[in-house]
Amino acid sequence: MRSIYAAVPLIAAAGAAASYPSDRWVFGDSLFYLGPPSGNARITKATYSIVPPSVPSGAKVSNADDEVWVSVWVGASSSAGSDYTNLYQPLFNWSPDQESQGCSATDEEWCVAASTYTPDGQVGQSYVPVPSDSTVDFEIAVVDKKVIQTVTIGGKVTSQQSDALDDPLQYLYSSNECYTGSGSCGTLGGYTIANLTVTLSEADTNFASVMDLDDVTDATFSSSDGGITWHTDRVTVSSIDFDSTDDTELSSF
C-alpha cells in the first residue's frame, strides 16, 4: 500500500500480457494526483464517496498460503510518495480468500478499513465487509496535530483511526493496486470517486493547476470560495486489467 510514484515500469513490452513476478505490487494506471498547494497552504480535510465496483474478476492463486489481494484507495501525505512519510489511506481491500486478510466478507464483497502506511509499517483497523452497492463515505481530516480517518456507510461510522500528523499534508492521490502473491489479480471494474471536496488551510487560487489526471476524467475541480474549498462532483476511474502491462506498472519493491 504505497504510491505509484515509487513504481517503475520494469516490463517495457507495451500491450503484452504480463507475467508479473510473485509477491510484488502492481499499480493501475488510472489515478488522480493533487498537490502541492502553493505558498503556505496545506490540505486540512478531504471528503469523498465511493461505490466500489464489482469485485475483481479472473484472479488466480496457486498457493492458498500466499494470497493475491487488490486495494482501492485515496490517500493524503506530506510527500509525493516517499517511503519515509505517512500516507493516510483508508482503503477497500479484496482477496479471493477474505479471511486471509482478516475480513469476514464473502469473495463477492469488498472490505474497508481506515489505514495508514508509516515508515515502520502499516497501521490499520480490522477490515469490515462492505454490503454490495453501498456508498462509502470517507473523511481524512487534520485535527490539532492528528489525522482522523472516518469511514461511514449509510450514516454509520464503520471504521475510524487517529494517527499523529507527521508533517503537514500537501498531496492527495488515488490508487488501485494488486499484490500478486502466488497468482494474479485479474480485472478491476471502473469506479467513481464522487463528491470530492478538499479544504486548504489558506486560499490557493491555483490549486486546480496541480491536479494531474492519469487516465481518469474529472468533472471540474474548482473553488467557489476564493480557493479555500475545492470540489469536483466526480473523478471517474477506468477499468484496470492488472495482468496487462498496458494498464499497470510493476513496483520496484
**Total Cβ atoms within 10 A of residue 26:** 29
Q: State yes or no: residue 229 binds ligand NAG (CB under 6 A).
A: no
DSSP assignment of 94-127: E-SSGGGGT----TTSEEEE-EEEETTEEEEPPP
Write phi, then psi, for 101 (nearest 5 degrees): -100, 0
- Nearer to ligand NAG by Cβ, of 46 and 70: the residue is 46
DSSP of 24-59, one letter per residue? -EEEES-EEEE-PPSTT--EEEEEEEE---SPPBS-
Nearer to ligand NAG, 229 or 239 (CB): 229
Instruction: Tell me the three cell numbers of residue 99.
Output: 479471511
In the complex, least distance from residue 197 CB atom to ligand NAG, rounded to whole angstroms: 4
195: contact with ligand NAG by CB under 6 A: yes
Least distance in angstroms from the C-beta of 199 to ligand NAG: 9
Q: Rule CB under 6 A: say whether 106 interacts with ligand NAG.
A: no
Smallest distance, Å, CB 47 to ligand NAG? 4
Which lies closer to ligand NAG via its Cβ, residue 225 or residue 246?
A: 225
126 touches ligand NAG (CB under 6 A): no
Q: Which is nearer to ligand NAG, 47 or 244 (CB)?
A: 47
- CA–CA gap between residue 16 and residue 82 (Å, rounded): 30
| Distance of alpha carbon 104 from alpha carbon 120, whole angstroms | 27
- Tell me: does residue 197 bind ligand NAG (CB under 6 A): yes
Binding residues for ligand NAG, how many (CB under 6 A)?
Answer: 4
Contacting ligand NAG within 2-21 (CB under 6 A): none
Hey, which residues between 35 and 94 contact ligand NAG (CB under 6 A)? 47, 49
Q: Min. distance of Cβ 150 from ligand NAG in angstroms?
A: 12
CB of 115: closest distance to ligand NAG in angstroms? 21
Distances (CA, A) of 122 to 17, 34, 60, 126, 225: 31, 23, 25, 12, 36
Q: What whole-number distance in Å separates Cα of residue 94 and Cα of residue 69? A: 6
Task: Report how far apart, in Å, the C-alpha atoms of 77 and of each of 107, 154, 170 are.
Answer: 31, 27, 6
Of 47 and 118, which CB lies nearer to ligand NAG in the complex structure?
47
Nearest residue to ligand NAG, scored by beta-carbon proximity: 195
Q: Which is nearer to ligand NAG, 2 or 45 (CB)?
A: 45
Scan for cell 505558498, then name that residue.
39
Return the number of the residue (7 or 196) whose C-beta is nearest ligand NAG.
196
Residues found near ligand NAG in the complex (CB under 6 A): 47, 49, 195, 197
